[in-house]
Structure formats: structure tokens, C-alpha cells
């Protein structure tokens, strides 16, 4: 589908999400309420490392679990399934409507994460709409980025963010050409993210651009024993070329954990479930039976 103007884009995407677009004159700060994770941490298991005790996910539609078929697969349950130790309930205020008011949403999300006393903030697509979106020029993109980075400076706990991936293949499918930064602008945006991160020791960069570039180039991609052969793009990315599939979201969780573990050697490998099949199995188990209570589903095999 091709969006022809900014108002049409907003209304069309809002309708796709099943959410009404905001009315003119309303408060421009979108609500971003935290959502508790579905997994009850097992108190009998060994505790998770301190950094993973209370994770808070911030971000846009990829983290919120946007799906073209309506069956959401958010990042939060994936992170929950990846962390093996006992922990407090994780939370997320990632929203599919981030693009409608990026600055206010970014500020609200970080305020909520800080208010929750998170031990780790994961925002792999938190910066996305600070570089993408409908703005006057490339300088405006950089100005938006500066505001989002400024909000993050209040965080004292570790923060995971990503540089900007090249999502230009989504033009005409989910993005308009005017929403996508030029190649030159993308380079400047990522240079600024790297420069800023280098001055903040609590910030860990997730190399999402590299993973997506490798996937689209047709290379075989491996991550902690999970192998994706040439032609696996559609297995991990939806047809809109923008949002991950359910398995793609699980991989996104592992990419984030891999970056965190590389930056923080105190996290043992045993604290993370690195097998994608097992992560998906744990997620299914955490969701519980889909049948009515009178017809309990059998427990999944381990």
C-alpha cells in the first residue's frame, strides 16, 4: 500500500492498528501505560543477574508487536522468555502510535521507565521515529534525535538502543519516501548516535543495522547457534519490510541480550536462553492454554 500524504498516512496506519487517530486540539502527549509481562518469575529458580531483575521496554511498533495479520508479538514476552533467572515482573510502554508524536512519546516513555526504577531499559526502536518520519529537512531529523538522546541522559541504569537501520525497502509498503532519511542523513544520524553513546558508559548499542543488512544481502546469518540461511528474510521480516515476524522479534531479543552480555561480562551465559526454538517454546508456555478452563491444554513437552 502506498500512502500519498501525511494525513492519509496517519489515518491509514491508525486504522490498520485499529486505533482512532487523535482529534485536533487534544493533548499532544500520547498515553503510554506500562504493561506487565505475562510470565510469573519462578521464585524457586536461581535469581537473574541484578541488571536483569526489572527490565522496562520502550519503543515503537516493532517493540509493541505490530503485525499485518493482527496477531501481535511484542518484544516484552520475548525478553521474558530469554531471561532464565527469577526476576520481578517486566514491563513495557512501547506503542504503535509513536510516529504520531515522537518527541512527547519519547519523553513519556523514559519518564515511566525511570519511575519504575528499572534495572535495564531496552529501546531497540526507541530512536526510530527521531530519524524517520515527516520532517522539514535533515537538520530537523538531527534536532529530533538530540531531544531523544537528552531524555535518555536521565537514566542511570544500563540502556540498550540501536543505531538507525536502513528501512528504505519499506517505501511504498508501510513508509512514504518522505519519511525515510537519505543515505547521507542516515550516516549523520548514526554517527551522532555512536558519538553520544561513547560518552555515556551505561549505554549499549545494539547492532540491528548490521543484522538487517546481512539478512537482506542474502548472507547466512548466525547468532549463538541459531542459523539463518540465504533467503530467510521473510522468516524474520513481515511483508511490509519494516516489522519483525514472531520469530524475528525473538531474534531481536537475542540480539539485544548479545550486545548486553558483550558489554557486561558479569552476566553468565547460563542466565540467557540462546536457542530460538526454546525461546519460542517458553513464550508459548508462558501464554498458557488457549482452550477454555474446562478443556485444559496439555503441558508442552520439554
d(CA 231, CA 217): 9
Task: Output the pLDDT for position 295.
Answer: 32
Q: Are 119 and 47 in contact (CB under 8 A)?
A: no
Q: Mean pLDDT across the stretch 123-142? A: 95
Q: For a pLDDT cut of 70, what percent of the chain falls above it?
A: 80
Measured CA distances, 206 to 7, 258, 298 (Å) = 32, 8, 38
Helical (H) or strand (E) element with 173: none
Across 47-72, average pLDDT: 95
CATH number of 12-17+27-286: 3.40.50.1110
Interval 184-220: pLDDT, tens: 999 999 999 999 999 999 999 999 999 999 888 888 8
Quote the CA–CA distance of 30 and 108 in Å, as a whole number: 8
Query: In the predicted model, is pLDDT for residue 154 greater than 50?
Result: yes
Q: What is the mean pLDDT of residues 257-283?
A: 94
Cα separation, 159 vs 173, in Å, equals: 31
Give the span between the Cα atoms of 206 and 162, in whole angstroms. Answer: 5
Query: Which whole number is the average pLDDT over 34-62?
Result: 76
CA 51 to CA 84: how far, in whole Å?
Answer: 13
Query: What DSSP string runs through 15-51?
Result: HHHT-PPPPTTS-SS-----EE-SPPP-TTSPBPPGG
Q: What is the pLDDT of residue 288?
A: 55
The pLDDT of residue 290 is above 60:
no
Question: Which pLDDT belongs to residue 231?
Answer: 81
Q: Give the domain ranges of the chain.
A: 12-17+27-286
Specify the higher pLDDT residue, 64 or 295. Answer: 64
> Across all residues in the chain, what is the average pLDDT?
84
> Residue 9 has what DSSP assignment?
H
For 46, residues 6+ apart whose C-beta sits below 8 A from its C-beta are 85, 86
Least confident of 85-99, 222-236, 288-302: 288-302
Q: Give the global pTM.
A: 0.83
**Neighbour count for residue 83 (Cβ, 10 Å):** 25
State the pLDDT confidence band at 254, using cuts at 50, 70 and 90.
very high
Bigger pLDDT: 298 or 30?
30
Q: Which residue has the cell 525473538?
A: 250
Q: How far, rounded to the nearest angstrom, does the alpha carbon of residue 11 sit from its chain's CA centroid?
A: 23
Q: How many helices (H) and strands (E) does the chain have?
A: 11, 8
CA distance 17 to 68: 9
> Which pLDDT value is given to residue 46?
86
Q: How confident is the model at residue 285 (pLDDT cuts 50, 70, 90)?
A: confident
Structure confidence by residue, pLDDT tens digits, 10-38? 433 443 333 333 333 334 344 444 444 44
In which band, very low, low, confident or very high, does the pLDDT at 112 lie, cut at 50, 70 and 90? very high
Grid cell, residue 255, equals 540480539
Quote the CA–CA distance of 126 and 116 in Å, as a whole number. 17
Amino acid at each position: 500500500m502506498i500512502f500519498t500524504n501525511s494525513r492519509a498516512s496517519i489515518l491509514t496506519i491508525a486504522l490498520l492498528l485499529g486505533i482512532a487517530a487523535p482529534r485536533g486540539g487534544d493533548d499532544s502527549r500520547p498515553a503510554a501505560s506500562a504493561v506487565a509481562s505475562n510470565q510469573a518469575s519462578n521464585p524457586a529458580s536461581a535469581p537473574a543477574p541484578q541488571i536483569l531483575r526489572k527490565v522496562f521496554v520502550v519503543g515503537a511498533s516493532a517493540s509493541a508487536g505490530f503485525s499485518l495479520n493482527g496477531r501481535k508479538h511484542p518484544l516484552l514476552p520475548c525478553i521474558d522468555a530469554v531471561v532464565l533467572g527469577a526476576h520481578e515482573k517486566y514491563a513495557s510502554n512501547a506503542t504503535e502510535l509513536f510516529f504520531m508524536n515522537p518527541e512527547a512519546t519519547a519523553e513519556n516513555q523514559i519518564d515511566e521507565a525511570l519511575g519504575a526504577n528499572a534495572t535495564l531499559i531496552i529501546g531497540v526502536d526507541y530512536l526510530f521515529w527521531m530519524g524517520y518520519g515527516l520532517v522539514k529537512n535533515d537538520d530537523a531529523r538531527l534536532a529530533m534525535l538530540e531531544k531523544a538522546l537528552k531524555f535518555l541522559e536521565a537514566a542511570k541504569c544500563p540502556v540498550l538502543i540501536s543505531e538507525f537501520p536502513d528501512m528504505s525497502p519499506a517505501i511504498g509498503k508501510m513508509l512514504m519516501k518522505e519519511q525515510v532519511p537519505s543515505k547521507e542523513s542516515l550516516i549523520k544520524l548514526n554517527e551522532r548516535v555512536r558519538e553520544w553513546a561513547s560518552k555515556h558508559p551505561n549505554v549499549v548499542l545494539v547492532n540491528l543495522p548490521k543484522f538487517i543488512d546481512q539478512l537482506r544481502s542474502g548472507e547466512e546469518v548466525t547468532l549463538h547457534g541459531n542459523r539463518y540461511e540465504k533467503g530467510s528474510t521473510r522468516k524474520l521480516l513481515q511483508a511490509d519490510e519494516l516489522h519483525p515476524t514472531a520469530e524475528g522479534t525473538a531474534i531481536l531479543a537475542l540480539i539485544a541480550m548479545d550486545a548486553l552480555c558483550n558489554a557486561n561480562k558479569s552476566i553468565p551465559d547460563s542466565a540467557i536462553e540462546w536457542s530460538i526454538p526454546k525461546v519460542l517454546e517458553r513464550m508459548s508456555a508462558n501464554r498458557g492454554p488457549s482452550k477454555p478452563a474446562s478443556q485444559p491444554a496439555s503441558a508442552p513437552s520439554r
